Amino acid sequence: MRALCAASLSAVYFVLSACSPGPVVGADRPGHPLSGDRRASHVTAWQTENARDTPVSLVDTPEPVGELTLRGAMAAALSRGPELAAYALQVRVAEARALQAGRWSNPELEVEFENFGGSGGLSGTRSLETTISLAQTFPLGGDPQRHREVARHQTRLADWDYESARLEVLTEVTRRYIAVLVAHRRIEVAQEATLLAEQVQAATNKRVDAGDAPPIEVARARVPVALAQLALKRAQRELQTARKQLSLTWASGEPAFESLAGSLDDLKPPPAAEQLVSLVNQNPAVARWATEVSARRAEARLAQAQAVPDVTGRIGLRDDRASDAQALVVGISLPLPIFDNRRGDVLAARLGAAAARQRQRLAELRIESMLSRAYARLVDAHDQATAIRDIALPPATEAFAAARRAFEQGHLTYLDVLDAQRTLLELRREHLDALAAYHESVAEIEGLVCRPLDRLTQAPDNLPDQTQEDSR
């Protein structure tokens, strides 16, 4: 009898196993939502089970040394920085859930004992009936397929979140890279201011020694020198801070690089505003909402599928000890959708899709607003930088040189030279501020449209090696 039971159960398990779903069709093809052709590696069953022993980490790169390019800084921040680690893990989590989604429930082994331990003819185990059966639930509404569909959309949403974080990292690295370049230039401007002040002081000393100027001029000439030296020390401290802020993007407390490759003086005309507005939908903060709408619609289809009752089939073998006979037992159960037909879940998913469409439009408006402000700053900074460079700086430089020569010859007073010097230095500082504003606006706009501006205009790159498209 035991051999017959074992054989019967094996046959039952074979029948039920034949009805269970196999692997996802096409999952091994490149481009399939569950294939390995993704930014993050496809999670295998072994990787899922051993996740605690195999932590995910980004590809490590050496610490940047020597002359650092913007592309090198971006690569270091993407591979060494901690910003993206959590988002990369979230992508892996979503892929693991997609791997699990749509699996059928496990079959149930049931053992039932009847007609024993009673009274009279049912006392003891003489009339014992033993039933051994297997039960399997069959989703009639296509639940596994709908579960997989929802899981694929959730994986794509995790991808979009990763892309948004990645874009933020690239934009922040660009800003800090520009800040280091600006800090270098501020040191140059401060050194020039110190040199000019010292030259005027030396000329003043000569005039006082020759008796052409009162001694009070010596004390007055020391003030600009002292102020210029303080400004130089402040600029040097700002450079150290900017360098450290840049190195922190790749989790390095002390920068190992020596210098940056790049120039702030390369300007190009801003592209047309219409070109930029047409690229707003490429921003992950906007593009993700199309996937969000699809995900909500998939949830509605899942709720509709779950409204269809799942049938549970049962097959087994019964052994009747009283008659020493065996027989097959077959059963079926089907829930009646009287009280719960999942209408609330379907409605909630549809309303969620409508809300996602509205939030998509809101994201578009928000990005367009940010783009409009950044574009206005870009145009203003470009016009100011070029005007100071081409119109204001040349005559201011000539005026200061002429005033210093006239002062040395005794034709002008110290105040005249000081005024010309102050005008020249203020123009240089304003020019540097305009250059910084220009490149910061470029970085912000490129982060909003997900494309370098040198691909939209024919002018040369605004910064050497500032090709964000290659790094992104």
pLDDT in tens, 4-49: 344 443 443 333 333 433 333 333 333 332 233 333 332 222 222 3
What percentage of the chain has pLDDT greater than the value 70? Answer: 83
| 417-441: b (≥16 Cβ within 10 Å) or e | bbebbebbbebbbebbbbbbbbbbb
Q: Which element (helix H / strand E) includes 7? A: helix 2-19
pLDDT at 101: 86
> Is the per-residue pLDDT at 124 higher than 80?
no
pLDDT at 123: 75
pLDDT at 324: 83
User: What is the spatial distance between Cα 413 and Cα 217, in angstroms, rounded to a whole number?
Assistant: 10
> Is the per-residue pLDDT at 461 higher than 70?
no
CATH 1.20.1250.20 fits 71-116+127-471, yes or no: no
Across residues 249-274, what is the average pLDDT? Answer: 88
Across residues 375-393, what is the average pLDDT? Answer: 95
> Which among 72-86, 126-140, 174-188, 411-425 has the top mean pLDDT?
174-188
> Is the per-residue pLDDT at 272 higher than 80?
yes
Per-residue pLDDT tens over the stretch 292-331: 999 999 988 888 888 888 899 999 999 888 788 889 999 9
Burial degree of 127 (CB within 10 A; 0-12, 13-18, 19+): middle
What torsion, rounded to 10 degrees, do the Cα atoms 149, 155, 161, 162 define? -150
Q: Which of 106-120, 278-292, 373-387 is least confident? A: 106-120
pLDDT at 25: 30
Identify the band that residue 248 occupies on the pLDDT scale cut at 50, 70 and 90: very high
Q: What is the DSSP string of 328-384?
A: EEEEEE----SS---HHHHHHHHHHHHHHHHHHHHHHHHHHHHHHHHHHHHHHHHHH
User: What is the spatial distance between Cα 357 and Cα 338, in angstroms, rounded to a whole number?
Assistant: 33
Identify the band that residue 457 occupies on the pLDDT scale cut at 50, 70 and 90: low
Contact 83, 165 (CB under 8 A): yes
pLDDT at 60: 57
pLDDT at 18: 37
Q: Give the CA diameter of the chain.
A: 141
